[in-house]
Structure 1
C-alpha cells in the first residue's frame, strides 16, 4: 500500500477535472470513478469550465453506481456553459434522470471570467468590463440575487469561484442573507485575514493541490487560446491559511485532471501526504479530506 493510501478510504474529492473536454485531460470520467472505487473513496465531484457536469455525473452513477463511489456534478457559470444566468443554473439543477441525487450539487461563479482574474491576466479593458465584478457596496448585480435564491431553494452549494478576497466576503454575506447555507470559497490565494472573514461569515474554505504543484509553472489554456500561469503557494503558506480557517472549516481538493498532473486519485493522495506533513493530525485530516465535503455536498443523503 502506498503511503497515504489509507487517507483515501472514505475520502471525498469535490474538484475533479476528468470529463470529455476541449483541452487535454489525463483521464475520462468513467476511469476516474473506477480508480476512486479502487482507492475506497466515498465520492468525487466533477468540474468543467465549459459545461454543466451534472449529466456526466448522473450517467456515471447509472453505469457505475454499484462501485460505491457517489459522483456529483454542477455548473461553473463560464460563458461557454451559459454564463452568469439564472436559466443556466435552473437547467443545471434539474439535469439528470430525475433521481433525487441528480442535478447540480453546486453552482459556481466564474473561475476565469471575473474582473479579478481578467485584470491579473492583463486582458483588454473591453474583456475586463464583460466579466463578472462584485461591487463594494449595494445590491449584487442581476441575475445573482435570483441565482442565490435558486441555490437556497434547492439547498445546494454556492462556490464563489475566482473573485477577489473582498468580493468573496461580500458574496458570502449576501448569500447567507438570502438563505444559502452551503458555501465553498476557493481560498488558496487569499490572505489569512480574508480566510478568517469568509469562514466567520459561514463559508467553508477550499484549498487545492493544483496551486501547490508543478502545474503552476505551465502556461495552460483554460477558457480560450491564451495561455496563463497562476502563482504557486508553498506548503508553509498553505498550512498557515488552513490554520486561519481551522480544519473544521476546511476542505482539501485535488483540482487534478490537467495532463501535466497525476490522475485525480494519485494527485489527491500526494496532496494529503503533503498537508499531513505540515503537522495536521489524523482527525484533522479526516475532517478536511472526507467529513466536511461529505456534509457540504450531502454525500450519502440523497436517494437514488
Structure 2
C-alpha cells in the first residue's frame, strides 16, 4: 500500500511538472448562453495555481477578447494569461471579416471556422442526437454558414483568410467536414496563413488517418480534445488506445492536446488536462513528448514567444 501511494504521488508530481508552462488552447469557460461550470476568471485562477502559461477561451456564440483583456489588465499577478478568439457562427454574422479584424486587434489568437453553424455539424446533429444546450430555451437553432458556393470558396471566406494571414491569427477548422478543411487550409497556405489547427479530427468532422497525415503535411497541428478520451468525462467516446493511434498518426511534434472542457456535469478543464497527461504517460510517451503536446506546440500555434 505504501508503495502504491508513493507511486501515485510521484505520478502526480510528474503531471504537475509537465503543467508548468502548459497552454490549453480550447476551453469552454463562461459566461455563456450554454451552462458552464467555471467562468474565465475562475479558470485563470485555477490554471495559475497549477502553473499553466496561457489559456484560450472559446465560445460558440461570441468573441471573448474583451473579457480576456479585462482579466489580463485587472489581474496582472495571474501567471496564466487569458486569450480568446472568434467562432464564425450565426451570432457573430457568420463569415464576418470585420469580426475577425476586431478579434485580431484586441489580441485574439484563434479564429475558428463554423462549429454549430457548419453545414457538416448540422448534418452530424441529425444522427448524433445532440443540440446546443441553449437552443430551445434561449436562442433559435443554428442555420448553416456555408463556405462554398457553386463549388468555389465564397468571397467572404477568402477575405477572412487574407485577414488571418495579415494579422497572424491561427486558423482552426472548427466543425467543418475534413474535405472542406483540406481545401480551405490549402488556400489559406497560398494566401500566407502560417498557423493552422485541425480541430478534434477524432469526432464530428469525418477524418481518417490518411486525412490527418495530409493536413499535417500542410503544416497544421492536429488538436485532440481530451474531453473525448479522459476517464470520467461525460463526452468520452474514445479509448486510450485510440488516443495513441491518433497521436502516432502525425507524431507528438504535430499534435496538440486541449481540454475542450468547462461544461457542467463533467470533468473540470484542469482535471481533463491532468488525466490526459496521465494517460499519455501510461501509453509510454516521454515527458518531452507530452510537454510538446501540451506546452510547446500550442504556445507556438497561438503565437506566444519564447
TM-score bucket of the superposed structures, by smaller chain: 0.7 to 0.9
- 1:162 counterpart = 2:162: no
Query: Where does structure 2 lack aligned partners over 5 or more consecutive residues?
Result: 1-8, 128-139
Asked if 2 retains the 8 angstrom alpha-carbon contact of 1:46 and 1:71, the reply is yes
Tell me, in whole angstroms, the C-alpha distance in 1 between the residues paired with 2:158 and 2:148. Answer: 13
* Aligned residues of 1:248 and 1:292 also touching (Cα < 8 A): yes
Post-superposition shift, 1:173? 0.6
Q: 2:126 aligned to 122, 126, 131, which one?
A: 122
Tell me the equivalent position of 2:158. 145
1:260-281 deviation line (CA, Å, top 9, x unaligned):
2222122211111112322211
TM-score, structure 1 as length reference: 0.85
Alignment of 1:133-282 (within 5 A): 133-135=146-148, 139-186=152-199, 187-189=201-203, 190-213=207-230, 214-216=233-235, 232-282=237-287
Deviates more, 1:133-142 or 1:49-58: 133-142
In structure 1, runs of 5+ residues without a counterpart are: 96-102, 218-231
Q: Distance in 2 between matches of 1:156 and 1:61?
A: 19
The more displaced of 288-297 and 131-140 is 131-140
**Structural mapping, 1:48-127, within 5 Å:** 48-95=59-106, 103-122=107-126
**Separation in structure 2 between the aligned mates of residue 83 and residue 58 of structure 1, nearest angstrom:** 23
Q: Distance in 2 between matches of 1:129 and 1:42?
A: 34
Per the alignment, residue 228 of structure 1 pairs with none
How far, CA to CA, are the matches of 1:139 and 1:83 in structure 2?
Answer: 17
Output the aligned Cα RMSD: 2.2
Q: Which moved more, 1:279-288 or 1:114-123?
A: 114-123
Q: Is the 8 A contact 2:90 2:145 kept in 1?
A: no
Alignment partners' CA distance in 1, 2:149 and 2:182: 10
For residues 143-180 of structure 1, the C-alpha deviation after alignment (integer angstroms, 9 at most, x for no partner) is: 10000000000011001111112111111111101110
Q: Provide the residue aligned with 2:34 in structure 1.
A: 23
**2:135 aligns to what?**
none
- The aligned residue for residue 133 of structure 2 is none
Pairwise CA distance, 1:86 = 1.1
Q: 1: distance between equivalents of 2:74 and 2:255?
A: 32
Matches within 5 A, 1:34-45: 34-45=45-56
